[in-house]
């Protein structure tokens, strides 16, 4: 679906985020994560965010999801629209079975208990965990854990989906299935913000890209152009 530049779903205006670290490192103990970040997110678009590790990408998603508040600046959301992070392994408790963990994750994502119970068979089938679904999660391999995590995360139904680097789950076969499910979601009627280190995924999925460095927006625009600038900066 095409992006609709008429409707702004979410806007960050001059957003900065600092926090005090207990040790007196950085700027007199103040750590600047984001510095005057501004951008708009339009309805139905898929906005990619690229940048090296530790430049503030996750913090930006957390601000968009309403988990953190900016130290200064404004976050404007279209009235009645919700934004939420797509997260793997929400609240996994190792001593509980996959089924119990899936129930808990679904409820944490806003489902009522009745709704969550109806999702469980679907989760069991998609994750292909079979009988292991009834076993404690501590007996799972890391691949099995991410299968369970990805499948429950896929249930998130929100207006703005914020995705933080999650398309590298499970073995090759499951990854293909996960990527397809994710693509169907992104290409459908969904506004998405997508953080990734994979240039392939960014070019494939995104309408527009933001490049973040040291808490600032360095460039924004067509994926091809922004990725060229980003690559050039790495040399």
**Interface positions with other proteins (CB under 8 A):** 19, 21, 31, 62, 65-69, 84-85, 87, 90-91, 93, 95-96, 100, 103-104, 107-110, 112-113, 136
> Taking the complex as a whole, how short is the minimal distance between the CB of residue 109 and other proteins, in angstroms?
7
DSSP letter at 167 equals -
Secondary structure of residue 89 in the 3-state scheme:
coil
Q: CA–CA separation, 112 vs 138, rounded Å?
A: 26
> Taking the complex as a whole, how short is the minimal distance between the CB of residue 95 and other proteins, in angstroms?
4
**Residue among 6 and 95 whose Cβ is closer to other proteins:** 95
Helix (H) or strand (E) holding 193, with range, is: strand 191-195
**Residue among 116 and 226 whose Cβ is closer to other proteins:** 116
**Dihedral class, residue 170 (left if φ above 0, else alpha if ψ from -120 to 50, else beta):** left
Q: Find, among 88, 185, 74, the residue nearest to 127 by Cα.
A: 88
**Residue among 113 and 235 whose Cβ is closer to other proteins:** 113
> Taking the complex as a whole, how short is the minimal distance between the CB of residue 27 and other proteins, in angstroms?
15
> Taking the complex as a whole, how short is the minimal distance between the CB of residue 65 and other proteins, in angstroms?
6
């Amino acid at each position: 679906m095409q992006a609709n530049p008429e409707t702004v779903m979410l806007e960050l205006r001059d957003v900065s985020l600092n926090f005090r670290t207990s040790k007196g490192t950085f700027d007199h103990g103040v750590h600047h994560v984001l510095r005057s970040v501004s951008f708009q997110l339009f309805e139905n678009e898929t906005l990619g965010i690229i940048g090296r590790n530790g430049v503030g990408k996750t913090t930006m998603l957390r601000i968009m999801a309403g988990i953190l508040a900016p130290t200064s600046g404004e976050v404007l959301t279209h009235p009645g629209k919700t934004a939420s992070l797509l997260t793997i392994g929400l609240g996994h408790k190792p001593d509980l079975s996959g089924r119990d963990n899936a129930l808990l994750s679904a409820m944490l994502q806003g489902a009522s208990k009745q709704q969550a119970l109806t999702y469980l068979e679907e989760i069991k089938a998609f994750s292909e965990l079979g009988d292991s679904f009834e076993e404690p999660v501590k007996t799972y391999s890391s691949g099995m854990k991410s299968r369970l995590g990805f499948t429950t995360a896929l249930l998130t139904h929100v207006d703005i989906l914020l995705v933080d680097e999650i398309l590298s789950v499970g073995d090759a076969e499951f990854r293909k299935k996960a990527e397809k499910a994710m693509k169907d979601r992104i290409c459908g009627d969904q506004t998405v913000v997508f953080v990734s280190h994979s240039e392939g995924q960014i070019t494939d999925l995104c309408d527009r890209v933001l490049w973040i460095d040291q808490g600032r927006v360095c460039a924004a625009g067509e994926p091809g152009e922004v990725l060229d600038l980003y690559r050039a900066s790495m040399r």
